[in-house]
Structure 1
């Protein structure tokens, strides 16, 4: 079995003062059309991976304004048109 990951931790930053809130509207793009089916070639398995090294860091504090996110989903994707030519 592979050795456990090496975890390095740093001290957390000092939190900033609280700031007034705001509302953000984020529009999400539609889902992409699924890919066409393809034939996949099999390749040999990759060599064993080296030991994982995890670096746990604190994300710096940004503006502390509370933000509400309103999610508006896009319409469903259009399906592919029917193929005109059939190869046998």
Structure 2
């Protein structure tokens, strides 16, 4: 067991590489994306007045995980892709 349980092995790697690893079912990549984007997505959910932001963020990451393979087929920046992937969940 490491001294820092928050370490994923993806620290410092570009988001695009982390998304590609997630497409390959690397769960440490999911943990890293959560570390990078959970706060942003939670703020997004609050701004959209989602009734249960915690559940919405969880559902958002499930969607990101399921569709990570689609990222390689887009020209979007990773941050924009993540937001675009989940924004309709807030409707």
Coarse TM-score class (shorter-chain normalised): under 0.3
TM-score if structure 2 supplies the norm length?
A: 0.16
Structure 1 or 2: larger helix share? 2
**Would you tell me which structure has more strand in proportion to its own residues?**
1
Structure label with greater radius of gyration: 1
TM-score (norm 1): 0.16
